[in-house]
Amino acid sequence: MTQYTLRRLLVALPSLLGVLIIVFLMVRLAPGDPAQLLAGEFADAATVERIRERFGLNDSMLVQFQRFITGVAQGDLGRSTRTNRPVTTELIDFFPNTVELALASIIFALVVGIGLGILSALKSNTWIDALSMILALIGVSMPTFWFGLLAIRFFAVEMPLFPVAGRGTFSHLVLPAITLGLSSTGIIARMTRSALLEVLGQDYVRTARAKGGTPRSIVFKHALRNALVPVLTVGGLEFGSLLAGAVITETVFTWPGVGRMLVTSVLSRDYPVVQGTVLLIAVAFILVNLLVDLIYGLIDPRIRYD
């Protein structure tokens, strides 16, 4: 397993380099001058030029990229042009909040999605199955920002059960977590139903029924464990997507995470923060998928990493 892990990490290096190159080019080719934004609308040319010189914006793109890659290799992501703080410090302050939100969202999605998928598979071709899949389809189709605004309207304004925005107590986490995890819930429910229906038709399940196994033991002891492998794959991908896609949810609920920080940094052309944030999200996505691959062997003993 150690060799497999090392191979996966080595294979991920070209992907990370590609992410760095794409982000570096995109933020610099976007319209807008960060020096002008920092100096202000009515700043004179000399002030703007001094800011450009201070942050190395006058250097060629090749020199800037070389400096960026060298800094990344040394663990230095630069300093924010907006706050003048180290990018690493900014990420340490905000990334745990995004991880907290993404974890709460994926737990909600797994619990509700797997439960809904099991119910739908066991009640296949009934009104319960149809209703479950309609709910799953609504979850997948509902725009995140729209559901977030509706949740705030009904559960924070009309019925003040939860706070409107911000982070602090567990109640602050409920609405953002449900909003962010709604789409993943629908995807996981549909995948669980499909995988479980396929497994329930296998020979070993029929054998377990013939030997007098209870429906509960057949589903949870035999069928579900084998059906969870594709569900786990989808869950890992969804968790990585939640880390990267929390931008809208964090903005709607004023959640202090890297998604909201990324939006602010893009608007202010804060190149170092944008680059550092995207790099961190890419690394987290790769590590999450590697962890999912390693968990396969715990769920299905037939899977080995020789």
Asked if residue 185 belongs to a domain, the reply is yes
What is the extent of the structural domain holding 165?
92-268
Q: Tell me what pLDDT residue 297 has.
A: 63
Asked if residue 85 belongs to a domain, the reply is no
For residue range 203-213, list pLDDT tens digits in order: 777 777 777 76
Instruction: Say how many residues make up the chain.
Output: 306
End-to-end Cα separation, the chain, in angstroms: 7
Asked if residue 19 belongs to a domain, the reply is no
Asked if residue 114 belongs to a domain, the reply is yes
For residue range 76-128, list pLDDT tens digits in order: 887 887 778 888 888 888 888 888 998 999 999 999 988 888 888 888 888 88
pTM of the model: 0.78
- Total tally of structural domains belonging to the chain: 1
Q: Report the CATH number at residue 189.
A: 1.10.3720.10
Asked if residue 249 belongs to a domain, the reply is yes
Task: Report long-range pairs for 54-61 (Cβ below 8 Å, ≥24 apart).
Answer: 55/81, 61/24, 61/25, 61/28
Asked if residue 49 belongs to a domain, the reply is no
What 3-state DSSP class applies to 167? Answer: coil
Which residue bears the tokens 């009640």? 123
Work out the mean pLDDT of the chain and round it to a whole number: 80
